[in-house]
Amino acid sequence: MKFSPIFQSICLLASIVLASAQDKTGFQLKDGDRVLFYGDSITDQRLYTTFAETYVITRFPDLKIEFVHSGWGGDRVTGGGGGEIDLRLRRDVFAYKPTVMTIMLGMNDGSYRAFDQPIFDRYAKGYQHIIDEVKKGLPGIRLTLIQPSPFDDVSLPPRFEGGYNSVLVRYSQFVKQAAEREHAGVADLNTPIVAVLEKAKATDAELAKKIIPDRVHPGPSGHLLMAAALLKSWNAPATVTAVEIDAAGTRIVRSENTKITDRQAANGLSWTQTDRALPLSVEMSDAVMALAVNSSDFVQTLNQQLLKVTGLSAARHALKIDGAMIGVFTKEQLTEGINLAMLNTPMVQQSAEVHRLTLQHNNTHFTRWRQVQVPLANNKSPKVQKAVAELMSALDDDEGEVIKQQRAAAQPRARKYELIPE
């Protein structure tokens, strides 16, 4: 049967619209992507970037996605200590051929003073220059423009009327408008962190000051929530796994993102679970981290590993995974469901090891880039240049080995679960 050109055009348009809708609802990073994080000292801290990387590696262990850190302390849209912006782009962006790039600039650009139109105009012009050069140098790149993280005018009083964060909010509006104009992604790292600071201050005013200790550079807790905001902009899923078991009939009611085998009902309930993802390890023993996380929606929106068991007869059950005691839970708790992602399980410990390797490979890259490549780039000695090339190659090889270990460590393993009545 032949269809008319008009009908064929309608079908093509419908398929494009459907594909577009799917892209907007699915996770935005794809197999084969190389993600480059660009920014100032807040990016240079290598914290929100590494949290985001570990999340991606543990939540999507089958995807081959690479990550490169290119933040430099003190940077503005015009560049900074690492050189003028065009040099920075050539050496620290184009050289890595990323398919995805995030840009977070603005903290230094506002000059830590009340809003000034000429200063803002330089920011807007410089920011647009970066976008134009990146799109020209890397056709097809997918940009995520990041609205600058906050200056803490919440836990401490503003230094001038309105506060510096109000200036950053105006810069953030420009970033959002630029993203819309350029058909780029946008991530708001200001509004949700301010909301966390406000809630944390109401809970513990002194401890809240430690979320962004110097008002500019967040500690790990602030960076975790910044990573969460970035990941949400990429449509990151909340669920690690979700399991529901009817103990009365040893029936699997739900098994999302996991495979359950070897069910047994003798002396309690046991089964083997092979997950397709890992939770993100969070140091809730740290008081500042706990305050920040509990003042946010991080757990609900990004770190859910649900275990629900109904039909239990005993009032309390001990949960063991791979022989390790996880905790004792009431029948009501298990019927409602417990979130394994926030408990000290073997899966969380495995995720912590992945994050250790994430930090290691990023630190190796930093050494290669900032302590060898850049400071020795202008040395004219052939011997030095040869030594530099050999050292950079060795460091690249070392980083590559660590990345292999990271990927291997992220692969989920079969785990033996036991629910033992007490």
CATH of the domain at 201: 3.40.50.1110
pLDDT above 90 (res 97): yes
- The domain in which residue 139 lies consists of 28-233
pLDDT at 382 over 50: yes
- Strand pairing class (79-80; 83-84): antiparallel
283 shares a domain with 186: no
Q: What is the mean pLDDT of residues 147-155?
A: 98
Instruction: Tell me how far apart the alpha carbons of residues 148 and 173 are, in angstroms, rounded to a whole number.
Output: 10
Question: What angle in degrees, to the nearest 10, is found between the helix axes of 287-294 and 220-233?
Answer: 30
Please tell me the predicted confidence (pLDDT) of residue 23. 43
pLDDT recorded at residue 249:
79
Strand order in the sheet with 338-339: 251-256, 239-246, 304-310, 338-339
146 and 251 in a single domain? The answer is no
Of the residues 233, 253, 281, which one is the last residue of a structural domain? Answer: 233
Q: How confident is the model at residue 13 (pLDDT cuts 50, 70, 90)?
A: very low
Mean pLDDT value of segment 191-211: 98
**Considering 182, 201, 233, which residue would you say is the last residue of a domain?**
233
Segment (H or E) for 346: helix 346-366
Amino acid at 142: R
| pLDDT confidence bin for 266, thresholds 50/70/90 | confident
Residues 285-343: tens digit of each pLDDT: 999 999 999 999 999 999 999 999 999 999 999 999 999 999 999 999 999 999 999 99
pTM of the model: 0.93
Residue-level pLDDT at 236: 98
What mean pLDDT is reported for the chain?
Answer: 94
Between 16 and 287, name the one with better pLDDT.
Answer: 287
pLDDT higher than threshold 60 for residue 5:
no
297 and 362, same domain (yes or no): yes
Domain membership of residue 14 (yes or no) is no
pLDDT higher than 90, residue 175 = yes
Same domain, 164 and 107: yes
Same domain, 127 and 212: yes
Give the pLDDT band (50/70/90) at residue 25: low
On the question of pLDDT at 71 being above 50, the answer is yes
Q: In the listed set 233, 260, 284, which residue is the last one of a domain according to the structure?
A: 233
* Residues 302 and 411 placed together within one structural domain of the fold: yes
What's residue 1's pLDDT?
A: 40
Both tokens of residue 95? 């050289």
Q: Which of 392, 356, 182 is nearest to 283 (CA)?
A: 356
In a domain, 13, yes or no: no
Total number of domains in the chain: 2
pLDDT for residue 39 is more than 70: yes
- Tell me, yes or no, whether 88 and 202 share the same domain: yes
Q: What is the pLDDT of residue 7?
A: 39
Q: Is 70 exposed, middle or buried (0-12, 13-18, 19+ CB in 10 A)?
A: buried
Let me know if residue 33 belongs to a domain.
Answer: yes
Instruction: Write the burial class of residue 45 (CB in 10 Å: 0-12 exposed, 13-18 middle, 19+ buried).
Output: buried
With respect to residue 4, please indicate whether it lies within any of the assigned structural domains: no
- 256 and 323: one domain? yes
| pLDDT at site 99 | 98
